[in-house]
């Protein structure tokens, strides 16, 4: 444990010393600030903010995470020459990478919100954005670590990361649309609900959409989704799915990291 915190501390100081975290944070600060000041309706701004969060955070987290592992190969090799537990090293590296990303996003967005006079009590939508943004950061960093450990080749790993992002952000929705159309004669609502639970980006998007009361537009489908996510089962299940998306890649990553010959 002590070792993990030592590694995290080292990585954190490393990250905060370099400029990228500042740039990342500044990006979210500017985006939120501009949206809030140019959009008179804070609900609409939150909706645009959500689109940014859903696209940018997964992409940046997965690519940055993969790059991070490849760039730290020398450090890993060096560290492994010491009497250091591999699990601690992996977990330390993981949090050393994901925490700065999460902090960068959180600070940028929340400072912009506070400057625009949106308090936490007022902006439950923004609270949702912050929570989901942080969750997505951890989930996609863990996927990135898994990919980077499995593929020794940098190009392969990066390519695979981009493909994973593309699948989850774009192709998955295409598949859902296909299912909705292919099984148009059947009541597909519950099936679609189940399918979208398995994609963290979709899950986040649906949580947002329901938060904005757009569900009335969806008629029957909206009613089903609202009922599900309004129930405690729905909330527990969606949080569980998010946690699973975070835990499983980490566990597999750990396993491969444990076996990997650097």
Partner 1 sequence: MLLFSYKIFTIILFILCSANSFADKLIVDKRHSLNSIKKAIALAKPHDEIIINKGFYTEENIIINIPLRLTGKDEPVLDGEGKFEIITINSDSVYISGIIFKNAGVSYLKENSAIRLENVRDCAITDCKFFNNFFGIYIAASKKCLIQNNYIQSRGKTETSSGNGIHLWNCSNITIKNNNIIGHRDGIYLEFVKDALIEKNYSKKNLRYGLHFMFSDGCTYSQNKFENNGAGVAVMYTKNVEMINNYFYDNWGPASYGLLLKDISESRIEKNSFIKNTTGIYLEGCSKSIIEHNVFEKNGWAIKLMANSMNNTFLKNDFISNTFDLSTNSRQNFNSFDGNYYSKYTGYDLDKNGIGDVSYRPVKLFSILAEQQKPSLILLNSLFIELLDIAESVFPSLTPETLVDNRPSLRRIN
Helices (H), the chain: 2-17, 20-38, 42-71, 73-81, 86-115, 124-150, 154-166, 172-182, 189-197, 200-211, 219-230, 232-259
Stretch that binds partner 1, among 10-18, 74-82, 141-149, 180-188 (CB under 8 A): 180-188
The smaller minimum CB distance to partner 1, of residues 84 and 193, is found at 193
Residue 205 in the binding site for partner 1 (CB under 8 A):
yes
Looking up tokens 């650097």, which residue turns up?
262
Q: Which stretch binds partner 1 (CB under 8 A): 73-81, 85-93, 104-112, 181-189?
A: 181-189
How is residue 86 written in tokens?
Answer: 């591999």
Residue of 175, 181, 137, 141 whose CA lies nearest to 161: 141
In 3-state terms, what secondary structure has residue 205?
Answer: helix
Question: CA geometry: angle at 242 spanning 240 and 243, to 5°?
Answer: 65
Minimum CB separation of residue 201 from partner 1 in Å reads 9
Give the per-residue contact string, 73-112, with partner 1 (x = CB under 8 A; - = no): ----------------------------------------
Tell whether residue 219 is a contact of partner 1 (CB under 8 A).
Answer: yes
What is the residue whose two structure tokens read 């995470």? Answer: 65
Residue 147: both structure tokens together: 């990919």
Helix axes 172-182, 189-197, angle to 10 degrees: 160
Between 7 and 46, how does the x/- string for binding to partner 1 read (CB under 8 A)? ----------------------------------x--x--
The residues binding partner 1 (CB under 8 A) are: 41, 44, 47, 50-51, 54-55, 169-174, 176-177, 180-181, 184, 188-189, 192-193, 196, 202, 205-206, 208-209, 213-214, 216-223, 225
């Amino acid at each position: 444990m002590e070792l993990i915190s030592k590694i995290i501390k080292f990585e954190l100081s490393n990250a905060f010393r370099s400029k990228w975290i500042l740039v990342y944070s500044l990006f979210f600060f500017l985006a939120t600030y501009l949206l809030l000041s140019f959009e008179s309706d804070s609900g609409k701004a939150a909706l645009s903010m959500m689109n940014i969060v859903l696209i940018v955070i997964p992409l940046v987290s997965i690519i940055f995470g993969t790059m991070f592992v490849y760039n730290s190969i020398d450090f890993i090799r060096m560290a492994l020459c010491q009497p250091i537990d591999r699990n601690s090293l992996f977990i330390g590296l993981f949090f050393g990478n994901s925490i700065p990303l999460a902090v960068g996003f959180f600070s940028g967005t929340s400072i912009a919100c506070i400057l625009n006079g949106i308090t936490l009590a007022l902006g439950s939508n923004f609270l949702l954005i912050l929570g989901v943004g942080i969750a997505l950061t951890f989930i996609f960093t863990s996927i990135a670590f898994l990919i980077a450990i499995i593929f020794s080749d940098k190009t392969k790993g990066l390519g695979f990361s981009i493909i994973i992002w593309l699948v989850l952000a774009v192709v998955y929705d295409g598949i859902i649309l296909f299912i909705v159309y292919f099984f148009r004669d059947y009541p597909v609502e519950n099936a679609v609900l189940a399918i979208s639970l398995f994609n963290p980006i979709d899950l986040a998007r649906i949580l947002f959409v329901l938060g904005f009361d757009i569900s009335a537009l969806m008629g029957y489908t909206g009613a089903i989704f609202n009922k599900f996510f309004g129930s405690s089962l729905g909330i527990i299940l969606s949080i569980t799915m998010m946690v699973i998306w975070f835990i499983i890649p980490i566990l597999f990553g750990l396993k491969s990291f444990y076996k990997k010959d650097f």
